[in-house]
Amino acid sequence: MRNDEAEPVAILLAEDNPGDVTLTRKALERGSIINNLHVVNDGVEALSFLRQEGEYADEPRPDLVLLDLNMPRKDGRDVLEEIKTEDRLKRIPIVVMTSSEAEEDIVQSYDLHANAYLTKPIDFDGFLDVIERIEEFWLTVVKMPPE
């Protein structure tokens, strides 16, 4: 995790809803941490980005992943499982951000070693507040091991 303000924090957002992408981008722009937000729209792209494959070969290793569960091509649960079984990726903090409040999804996400599970608020201000709290906690408070 980069706590040094001179170097932007790399955040990967795996989200297929354009409205949620826009809200997340706006919330991060309002925050105090300099960041580079990278967006992918499905689970296959998320894994390619994380593994730095194909068009993502020159992309940075993210400091934080915001992961939606219900995405096309590869479900967020499958993405989470693959991330947490790969030595190169398993220490990247994964915050599941989804609209699901189902207990089964919460339990399964933690069983797959998600670092946090958040239900997306419906209203704009609530959504912005959640993103700002994620930024504050994961990017300023938490100490992470080196890559």
Domains of the chain plus CATH, in order, are 11-138 (3.40.50.2300)
Task: Give the 3-state secondary structure of residue 28.
Answer: helix
CA torsion through residues 61, 48, 41, 117, sign: negative
Q: How confident is the model at residue 141 (pLDDT cuts 50, 70, 90)?
A: low
**Nearest one of 64, 60, 61 to 33, comparing CA atoms:** 64
**35 near 11, Cβ under 8 Å?**
yes
User: With 60 as the cut, is the pLDDT of residue 4 above it?
Assistant: no
Mean pLDDT computed over every residue of the chain: 86
Burial of 47-86, coded b for 16+ CB within 10 Å and e otherwise, reads bbbbbeeeebeebeebbbbbbbbebeebebbbbbebbbee
- In tens, the pLDDT along 77-124 reads 999 999 999 999 999 999 998 888 889 999 999 999 999 998 887 777
User: With 50 as the cut, is the pLDDT of residue 2 above it?
Assistant: no
Per-residue confidence (pLDDT) for residue 136, from 0 to 100: 75
- In tens, the pLDDT along 30-51 reads 877 788 999 999 999 999 999 9
